Structures are given as structure tokens and as C-alpha cells.
Amino acid sequence: MKSLSVIRQDLTEGNYDFSRHAFRRAVERNISETEIREAGARAEEIESYPDDKYSPSGLLLGFTRSGRALHFQVSYSDGNLTKIITIYEPDPDEWVEFRVRR
């Protein structure tokens, strides 16, 4: 299972792959590769899903250099690339400081 530090490194270096869903969401939400790399560099785990359907995963929070908050759900399974399951900009009405669900 991948550690958070390895996932951060993968995101920062562009060593990731999107699920079909995540790719569509990134395009719809105008989330650039640069923003993924910036937010991924210091992302923190805010929720853990050890019993997720296909493999253990977690919800990460990271911020771009401009301060845009991004949530990434990523798979912790081993592999050459980190799999981004979904990605979005969290709604401040649904999150306390983007870290805790309201």
C-alpha cells in the first residue's frame, strides 16, 4: 500500500492517472495539471476509506499556490502511477476549513 509521502511525490511529479470520472471532473471544473501538482505537493489526508470498493483509498486536501482548495480521492494500492478517483473544489458550505464535513 502506498504511503501519503509517496502519493504526494507522485502527484507533484505528474506520476498519476485519472479514473474516467476524475478526468471528466477535472475538465468540467477547469482543474489544471499545474494545480494538481501544486496542491498535491503538501496534501493532507482528511478522510480514510480502508474498505473502499476496489482498494483502500483516502480523501486528500491540498492548496494551489493561488490558494485554491482541492480535494483528491486517491487509491492507496501499489502501482506505478497514483490513481485519482475523483477531484473537485470543496464547497465551503459543506466543509469546515475544507477539512471536516458539516
Indicate the length of the chain as a whole number.
102
* pLDDT given for residue 85 in this prediction: 97
Q: Low-confidence residues of the chain, pLDDT below 50?
A: none
Nearest by Cα to 59 from 21, 4, 13? 4
Strand partners, 75: 57
* pLDDT given for residue 40 in this prediction: 98
* pLDDT given for residue 48 in this prediction: 97
User: Total domain count for the chain?
Assistant: 1
* pLDDT given for residue 83 in this prediction: 97
Domain of 56, in residue numbers: 4-101
